[in-house]
Amino acid sequence: MKLPFFWVDAFADRLFEGNPAAVCVAEEWPETSLMQAIAAENNLSETAFILRTGRDWSIRWLTPVTEVDICGHATLASAWVIHNLLEPGAGTVSFASRSGVLGARIDGDEVVLDFPARPPQPADSRDALGDALGAEVVSAWVADYHLAELASEEAVRQVTPDPGRVAALGKTGVIVTAAGSRTDFVCRFFAPAAGVPEDPVTGSAYCTLAPFWAGRLQRHELSAMQLSARGGRVRCGYRGSRVDIGGSARLYLRGTIDLTAFRG
C-alpha cells in the first residue's frame, strides 16, 4: 500500500511559519496502529488522514501519541490539498469526523473552516493554572481545553509552563490568551499530555477563543496572532453555534509513503 503524502504549513503566509501538518490520502482506512506509527514517525503536532466517501471526505487526526477528536490546522491543510492538488478548483469541502461534519471553503488565498463553537465557562482553577504556567492568571475558564486569561500580550509571550503540571490539569491542553497590541487578541497553546509541548498554531482553540473574545470585545469578526516560535495569523468569526477560522497555507513537500515493508 502506498499513501500520497503532503506536508503543508497551515496558518502561514509563507513557508516555515504557522503550523506544519501532514496530510495522508487513503483509499481505505489503515489500521489505527499503522496511522499512529506514521504520526509518530512524522513527529508533527498532527497528521491528518483523509478518505473520499462519496461526494465528501472523512478525516481523522493523530498526534505523535494519540488520536484526537478535532484539529483545525490539519483540517485547513487537508482542505488546501484537496482544493489545490486533488480536486483543483473545489470551492468547498465537507469532512465527516469524530466531531461531526466540518466544512471548509476557499476565500481568496485563505481556507475558512466551519467548526463548532465551544464557549468557555468560568472555572475555579486560577491558582492551579497559575502554578502550571508560572504566570499570574487574571481569570480561568474551561471548555474542551482550559483557558487562562493573562494581563497582557507580553505576559503571554513570557509564559514558561511546567509540562508535568499542565498535563496533570485533566484536559487535553491549555490555552493562554490576552488582548493584543496589533491584533484583537493573542494566544499560545500547550498540550504535553497529547505529546505536543507547545502547538505552533491551534485551529481548534479558536472554537473557544472566538466566543470568548467576541463577548469581551462585542464584535463577531476578530483577528488573532498565536505567539509560538513559528507564529501564525488567524482570522475568526463567531456565529452562535459555529465559528469561522481562516488562514493561509503553503505546501512544503509532497511524496508517497511506501508501506510495503510494514505489510511484509
- List domains and CATH numbers for the chain: 2-115+247-263 (3.10.310.10), 121-238 (3.10.310.10)
Positions marked active-site = 46
- pLDDT tens digits for range 219-261: 999 999 999 999 999 999 999 999 999 999 999 999 999 988 7
SS3 212: helix
More confident residue, 130 or 2: 130
CA distances for 91 relative to 59, 88, 251, angstroms:
18, 9, 18
**Grid cell of 195 as nine digits:** 505529546
- pLDDT tens digits for range 164-200: 999 999 898 999 999 999 999 999 999 999 889 999 9
Query: Is 80 exceeded by the pLDDT of residue 1?
Result: no
Q: What pLDDT, on the 0 to 100 scale, is given for residue 89?
A: 83
Q: What pLDDT, on the 0 to 100 scale, is given for residue 144?
A: 94
pTM of the model: 0.93
- pLDDT tens digits for range 56-104: 999 999 999 999 999 999 999 999 999 999 999 888 999 999 999 999 9
